[in-house]
Structure 1
C-alpha cells in the first residue's frame, strides 16, 4: 500500500522528540539567525537547516529553492518537474518564493511561506504525485495540516494553508477588463477581471461558459500598466507614432479642459460681450512681451515652448 501524506507527516513528527545531535545543531543555528534584527534572510541557508531539523534530511539536493520575480498570483509555489538525469521522470522539485509579494512583508511571512512550501516538497518526495491529489485535491489535506501544526508548536511559527497578502496581490493585477453586460452592476465583482498578465477573459477560463449563459456581455479592457522604456523602444515605428499621437491628443484635450474649468460662467459672458473696438481717442497699446508658455513633453517630460512642441517631437522623438 503506497505511503499517504498522513503517514509521511507522522514519520517526520516522530523525529522531533528526541532530537538528534545534528538536529540540535540545526535548531541552534536557526535560533541564532532569527535572533538578529536583519530584515533580510538567506532562504537557502534556512532551507538547508530546516531540511535537517524537520524533514529527515530528504529535501536536498532534489529540491531547488529560488526567488521568482514573475510569481505574483501566490506567495510561493512547489512543483514537480522533469529530471533529464533521471530518465526525464517527474522527480525534481522546484520551490519558488514570490519576490514581488514578499519583499515588503515582515521577515516572519517569508519564513512561514518557506516552511509551507517545504512541507509540500517533503510530501512530493515521500508520496510522489499522489500528494497533489490528496484527500482535499489541493495538497492541503490531513497530512499537511498535521505536519504544519507540529512545526508551529515546535518552533512558534504560523504556517497556514492560505496567505493573506491581498493588498500586495491586487497591486500587481494591473490589466483590468470590465464586462459591458448585466454583470457589471452585480456585486461582488461588478463585471471586473483583474490580472497580472495581459490575458483577456476567454474560453480557457473555467467560469467563461457560465458567464456566457447568464450574462453574455463582452469584456472591454479599461486599464493596463505603462510600457517600460525598453518595451517602447522595441515597438515598431508605426506603433510608436500611434502612442505619440495619443499622448499629444490627450495633452491637448487636457489643456482645453483645464482652461474651461478655470473659466467661470461670468468670465465667459464678459469675454463674449466685451468691447469689439477701441475708441479712436485711445491709441492701441503695444502688446506686452510675455515669455512663451512652456509645456512638458508628453514623452521625455522636458520643458519646451508651446509653439515648439511639434518640432521638439519630430527631432527628439521621431516615429
Structure 2
C-alpha cells in the first residue's frame, strides 16, 4: 500500500530530533551560506544540502533543479518525468524556479520557493507519485502543511502555500483583450483579459460558456508587447508589411498629417511624377510602366509594387 502524504511528512519530521552527523554538517553549511551578505543564491548547492537536512537524502539524483525563463504566472513548479521505457510510469521530477519572477526578489523568496517545491518533490517520490492534490487540486493538503510547518519552525523559514508576487506576475501579462459587451462596465475585470502569452480568449477557457450566456460580447486585442529587433527580423515580409501598415494607421490617427500642407502634398506628387517620367520610356509596355506608379505612403517616392515591402523595410524601419 503506497504511503500517504501525512505518513511521508511524519517520517521526514522524525529525523529532525535528533539530527544525524550528516544533517548537522548540512545545517552548518547552510547557516554559513545564508549568513553571508551575498545576494546570489546557488540553488543547486542549497538543494543538495536541504536534501540531506530535511528530505532524508531521497531527492537526489531523482530531482533535477533548474531556472525557467518561461514561468511567469507561478514562481515554481514540479514536472513529473515519465520513464522513457514505460510511458505509464514516472521516474524523475523536474523542479523549475521562475527566473522572471524571482530575479529581483529578496534571496529569502528564492529559498522559500525552493523549499516549497522540494516538499512537493519529496511527497511525489515517497508516495509512489500519488502525492495528494487535496480539495483545491494544488497539493497543499495536510501532509504538505505538516512538513512545511516543521521546516519553518526548525530553520526560521517562511514556506507558504501561495506566493504574493502579484505585481511581478501582472507585469508579464502584456497581451490584453477588451470585451465590447455589457461586462465592459462590470467589476472586477471590466471586460479585460490579460495574459503573458498571445492566446486570445476562446472556448478553451473554462469561463467562456458563461461569458457567452451572460455577456455575449466580442473580445478585441488592445495591447501587446513590442517585438525585439531580432523578432522583427525573423518575421516574413507579409507580416512586416502588416506591422508597417499599423504604424502608418497610428501615425495618421494621431493627426500627424496636420503639419503637411496641400502644397506640400502637391509638390511631392509632382516631384514623384517627374521622377517616374524620367525613368520611364515610351518603348516600355504599359503594364511595366504602371508598376512604377505606386507612391510610398511615407515618403511619396515612386516604388514598384513588388518592391514596396522591401522599400519600407529598408528606408522606414520600425
Cα deviation digits, residues 43-90 of structure 1 (max 9, x gap)? 000000000000000000000100000010100001212132667622
Segment of structure 1 superposing worse, 112-121 or 131-140: 131-140
Cα deviation digits, residues 4-27 of structure 1 (max 9, x gap)? 100100000000000000000000
- Seen in structure 2, the aligned counterparts of structure 1 residues 221 and 7 have a Cα distance that, compared at 3 Å, is same
In the TM superposition, 1:259-270 aligns within 5 A as none
TM-score by length of 2: 0.80
Match of 1:17 in 2: 17
Match of 2:217 in 1: 217
5+ residue gaps, structure 2, are: 260-297, 302-310
Deviation at 1:209, TM superposition (A): 1.2
Match of 2:52 in 1: 52
How far apart in 1 are the matches of 2:47 and 2:258?
57
Deviation at 1:238, TM superposition (A): 2.2
Match of 1:105 in 2: 105
Deviation at 1:33, TM superposition (A): 0.6
How far apart in 1 are the matches of 2:214 and 2:247?
38
5+ residue gaps, structure 1, are: 260-307
Matched, 1:246 2:217: no
Residue pair 2:62, 2:92 contacting (<8 A) in 1 also? yes
How far apart in 2 are the matches of 1:40 and 1:309?
52
Match of 2:143 in 1: 143
Residue pair 2:5, 2:132 contacting (<8 A) in 1 also? no
Segment of structure 1 superposing worse, 221-230 or 83-92: 83-92
TM-score by length of 1: 0.79
How far apart in 1 are the matches of 2:300 and 2:114?
54
Match of 1:287 in 2: none
Matched, 1:203 2:210: no
Match of 2:230 in 1: 230
Q: Secondary structure at the match of 1:146?
A: helix
Q: Secondary structure at the match of 2:128?
A: helix
Match of 1:83 in 2: 83
Q: Secondary structure at the match of 1:217?
A: coil
Q: Secondary structure at the match of 2:129?
A: helix
How far apart in 1 are the matches of 2:250 and 2:176?
21
Match of 2:191 in 1: 191
Q: Secondary structure at the match of 2:58?
A: coil
Segment of structure 1 superposing worse, 219-228 or 79-88: 79-88
Deviation at 1:137, TM superposition (A): 2.8
Match of 2:27 in 1: 27
Residue pair 1:69, 1:98 contacting (<8 A) in 2 also? yes
In the TM superposition, 1:279-290 aligns within 5 A as none
Residue pair 1:135, 1:142 contacting (<8 A) in 2 also? no
Residue pair 2:26, 2:52 contacting (<8 A) in 1 also? yes
How far apart in 2 are the matches of 1:132 and 1:247?
52
Q: Secondary structure at the match of 2:254?
A: helix
Deviation at 1:252, TM superposition (A): 4.7
Segment of structure 1 superposing worse, 127-136 or 190-199: 127-136
Residue pair 1:178, 1:192 contacting (<8 A) in 2 also? yes
- Seen in structure 2, the aligned counterparts of structure 1 residues 315 and 2 have a Cα distance that, compared at 3 Å, is closer
- Seen in structure 2, the aligned counterparts of structure 1 residues 177 and 48 have a Cα distance that, compared at 3 Å, is same
Match of 1:293 in 2: none
